[in-house]
Amino acid sequence: MLIVGICSAVLPEPAYSQPAISSPRILVIGDSLSAEYGLRRNSGWVELLNATVSKRPTPVTVINASISGDTTSGGLARIDAALTTHRPTIVILELGANDALRGLPLTLTHKNLTEMIVRSQTAGAEVVLVGMQIPPNYGREYAQGFKNIFSTAATQTGAALVPFLFEGFADQRQYFLADGIHPNESAQSLMLATIRQALDPLLR
């Protein structure tokens, strides 16, 4: 099975204070797609991003707080601590695929994503929301609803949107591990290029 690529009440906003930071800091909160699942260490798209932006005239620090198997509920439970610890200027949210694998309610995934965006923005960070999709064998209505969650959450909050992380290779088996779910090493640069379309304008 190939997993590709999630209305809403916003919970009360926590209070944050974003101190001055000398250089940009990117915090990635994701699941196995960002945590180098099944890959050689330092070969995932987050590490490729770090290798690129750390060489900029104003170096950018990248913190990878991704956990394989994580859901949007797990991300929401830990985002406050991550924001306080790392004080990012940009947050990349790559979560939701595991919600769909478990058949969780779309309203829950949407609420969690929206709340994580709002909390990140309240902490002074800009947000890139990474969209995913699921195949229609999950049910066309559920699959379409899941896809729409990301664009809806981005529109409601003003977050930058990556419509589909696997854009351009989702149907090409050679870019996936044997499980047919996780992209292999050769796909990581493609994923990064897709993410940078939304990220680079924020870095400018």
**What are the structural domains, with CATH classification, of the chain?**
25-203 (3.40.50.1110)
**Which helix (DSSP H) or strand (DSSP E) does residue 157 occupy?**
helix 140-157
pTM score of the predicted model: 0.89
In sequence order, which residues have a C-beta less than 8 Å from that of residue 133 and are 6 or more positions away? 4, 5, 143, 146, 147, 164, 166, 170
Q: How far apart are CA 5 and CA 202, in angstroms?
A: 23
Query: 31, 32, 34, 99: which one is catalytic?
Result: 32
Cα–Cα distance for residue pair 115/76, rounded to 1 Å: 7
Known catalytic membership, residue 68: no
Tokens of 82: 């991550």
Catalytic-residue membership of 86: no
Q: Does 110 participate in catalysis according to the annotation?
A: no
pLDDT score of 186 more than 50: yes
> Would you state the structure tokens that stand for residue 54, as one six-digit string?
């750390």
Q: String of b and e for 85-112 (b: at least 16 CB within 10 Å)?
A: ebbbbbbbbbbbbbbbbeebebeebbbb
Listed range (20-29, 94-103, 106-115, 170-179) with the worst mean pLDDT? 20-29
Residue 79 CB partners (closer than 8 Å, separation 6+): 29, 116, 119, 120
How many other CB atoms sit within 10 Å of the CB of residue 11? 12
Q: pLDDT tens digit string along 120-130?
A: 999 999 999 99
**Catalytic residue among 23, 54, 179, 200, which?**
179
Residue range 46-86, pLDDT digits in tens:
999 999 998 888 889 999 999 999 999 999 999 999 999 99
Of 66, 70, 99, 182, catalytic: 182
